[in-house]
Amino acid sequence: MSASRARLGVLVSGSGSNLQALLDACARPDYPAEVACVVSNVATAYALERARAAGVPAVVVDHKAHASKVDFEQALLGALREARVEWICLAGFMRLLSADFLGRFPGRVLNIHPSLLPSFPGLHAQRQALERGVKVAGCTVHFVDAGTDTGPIIGQAAVPVLPDDDEKSLGARILVEEHRLYPLAVRLAVTGQVSLEGARTRVAARATTDALALRSPGAME
Ligand code: GRF
Contact 147, 122 (CB under 8 A): no
- The CATH class for the domain spanning 1-105 reads alpha beta
Q: Which residue has the CA at smallest separation from atom 6 of ligand 1?
A: 92
Backbone φ/ψ region at 72: left (φ over 0), alpha (ψ -120 to 50), beta: alpha
CB of 138 shorter than 6 A to ligand 1: no
**pTM higher than 0.85 for the full model?**
yes
Radius of gyration (C-alpha) of the chain in whole angstroms: 17
Dump pLDDT digits (tens) for 153-207.
Answer: 999 999 999 999 999 999 999 999 999 999 999 999 999 999 899 899 999 887 7
Cα separations in angstroms, 73 against 68, 81, 97: 9, 12, 8
Identify whether 179 is a catalytic site residue.
no
Give the whole-number percent of the chain exceeding pLDDT 90: 89
> Does the domain made of 111-221 have the CATH classification 3.40.50.170?
yes
Q: What's the 3-state SS for 134-187?
A: CCEEEEEEEECCCCCCCCCEEEEEEEECCCCCCHHHHHHHHHHHHHHHHHHHHH
Residues forming CATH 3.40.50.170 domain(s) in the chain: 1-105, 111-221
Give the span between the Cα atoms of 197 and 84, in whole angstroms: 27
Ligand 1 mean position, distance from CA 111 (Å): 10
8 near 31, Cβ under 8 Å? no
| pLDDT surpasses 60 at 7 | yes
Summarised one tens digit per residue, pLDDT across range 79-113 is: 999 999 999 999 999 999 999 999 999 999 999 99
Annotated active-site residue in 63, 66, 113, 142: 113
Share above pLDDT 70 across residues of the chain, in percent, rounded to a whole number:
93
**Ligand 1 atom at shortest distance from the alpha carbon of 90:** 10
141-151 pLDDT, tens digit per residue, is 999 999 999 99
Q: Is the CB of 18 under 6 A from ligand 1?
A: yes
Task: Please tell me the distance between residue 91's alpha carbon and the centre of ligand 1 in angstroms.
Answer: 6
